[in-house]
Amino acid sequence: MNMIAEMPRRTRRVWRTARSVSRETRVRIWGQFWDMIRLKRRSRLGPDDYYRYALFDRDRVPDLATAATYGGWRLFEEFRHFSDPQFHAIAHKHVLYRLLHSFGLPVPAIRKIYAPVPDCFERHRALQTPRDLKDFLRTTDDLPMFGKPSNSAGGYGAMGIVGRLSSHRLELLDGRIRSLDSLVDEIHAVAMDRRTFLFTEMLVQRPDIRELCGDTVASLRTVMLVRRGRPEVFRVAILLPTSRQQTSNSLHLTSGTMVGKVDPDTGRISNVVTSTGPFYEYSEYHAETGARIEGVLIEDWPRFLELMHEAAMAMSPFRMQHWDVALTTRGPVLMEMNVHGAEDLLQMHGPPGVYDEQYLSFARDHKVW
């Protein structure tokens, strides 16, 4: 015990995880450490990734070569190299929505933009001061609507505004009641941090998706590769939230969202994960609605694939595209395109991890810088 207490905090955490894994699986501690040393040399994977993807589990990951197909946090930077950094601002949501709409592609309808910082796209017709924002929220007829920063990740600052209870009180999608003043203060702070705040229509789930997870909009994280100008699907996952959430963001499965693998060819959902490693947990049913998820075929899948190929072609300067798409009552809607995305959504349903033959052959000759 004294030896453990004297270890650095991160080392203590790894040691305790290793002991827990050893107790539950009989994989020896020193065997785990030897695995981690070899993976660090081979693919720069750290202990957090080793346990997040349960790479010690030989039933899931039969050998070190398979474990080495996984990538860690450095993938975030690697993915950036598939597009010119000068283009990245195009992916800011309100700029992206205007561009995709001009291409005839379905996006959320913009209701208003709040832009308190001078150097922002489209500031000429945006709300520019907290007073402007307050007047808009007090008088708009566009409720319900959804608000989010134009440049953010992980659902930061996102909120669904369901309705107005009085001239000074608003109800949010997650059931909270907020005063107008406090909501304006919050939105202003987020906008100052992220430069713009975007208000859009409130999307409504398609009935088959609503049956699975309720009213909070689910999303399909779809990663497209544009290989020599021709789009191809790399990975698809469905993010199924609960009613307590404003968005479907999983936040590494800490938000309550369940994440299922989707077969790109058929649209069939499988391997619905509720907790990643070291001890994976799966569920065949949604935690709140009780609906069976495992094995469900997403309706109208060919239409979805057609849209993804059109969108990938439209944004082909981005050779790797991480899309979030909602299946709504007016069809699939493109909610977001990222130049990089959470690496765990691409790998939690493996093996393999990211580094399969499809990705490696693409990465060899499609990096821009």
Band (pLDDT 50/70/90 cuts) for residue 218 is: very high
- State the span(s) of the chain assigned CATH 3.30.1490: 110-201
Percent of the chain with pLDDT over 90: 85
| Cα angle value 69/239/171 (rounded, 5°) | 145
The answer to whether the predicted template modeling score (pTM) of the entire model surpasses 0.75 is yes
The pLDDT score that the predictor gives to residue 35 is 95
Helix axes of 9-25 and 29-43: crossing angle, nearest 10 degrees:
120
The pLDDT score that the predictor gives to residue 5 is 54
Pairing status of strand 331-338 against strand 320-328: antiparallel
Helix (H) or strand (E) holding 359, with range, is helix 357-363
Task: Name the more confident of 250 and 192.
Answer: 192
In this structure, how many other beta carbons lie within 10 angstroms of the beta carbon of residue 152? Answer: 20
Query: Average pLDDT in the 107-118 region?
Result: 96
Residue where the block lists tokens 């693998």: 261
d(CA 307, CA 241): 23
For the cut 60, the answer to whether the pLDDT of residue 285 exceeds it is: yes
Residues 294/269, Cβ–Cβ less than 8 Å: yes
Give one DSSP letter per residue of 27-65, joined into a string. --HHHHHHHHHHHHHHH---HHHHHHTTTT-TTTS-SHH
For the cut 80, the answer to whether the pLDDT of residue 1 exceeds it is: no
Residues 306/330, Cβ–Cβ less than 8 Å: no
Helix count and strand count (H, E) for the chain: 13, 13
The pLDDT score that the predictor gives to residue 362 is 98
Give the CATH class of 77-105+205-363. Answer: alpha beta
- State the span(s) of the chain assigned CATH 3.30.470.20: 77-105+205-363
d(CA 184, CA 178): 10
Sheet holding 159-166, edge to edge: 110-114, 197-201, 145-149, 159-166, 169-172, 177-179
Which of 3-12, 90-99, 245-254 comes out lowest in average pLDDT? 3-12
Sheet holding 230-240, edge to edge: 281-282, 269-275, 258-262, 230-240, 219-227, 320-328, 331-338
d(CA 273, CA 238): 10
117-139 as b/e, with b when 16 or more CB fall inside 10 Å?
A: eeebbebeebbbebebbbebbee
d(CA 121, CA 118): 9
Q: Which CATH architecture has domain 110-201?
A: 2-Layer Sandwich (3.30)
Pairing status of strand 219-227 against strand 320-328: antiparallel
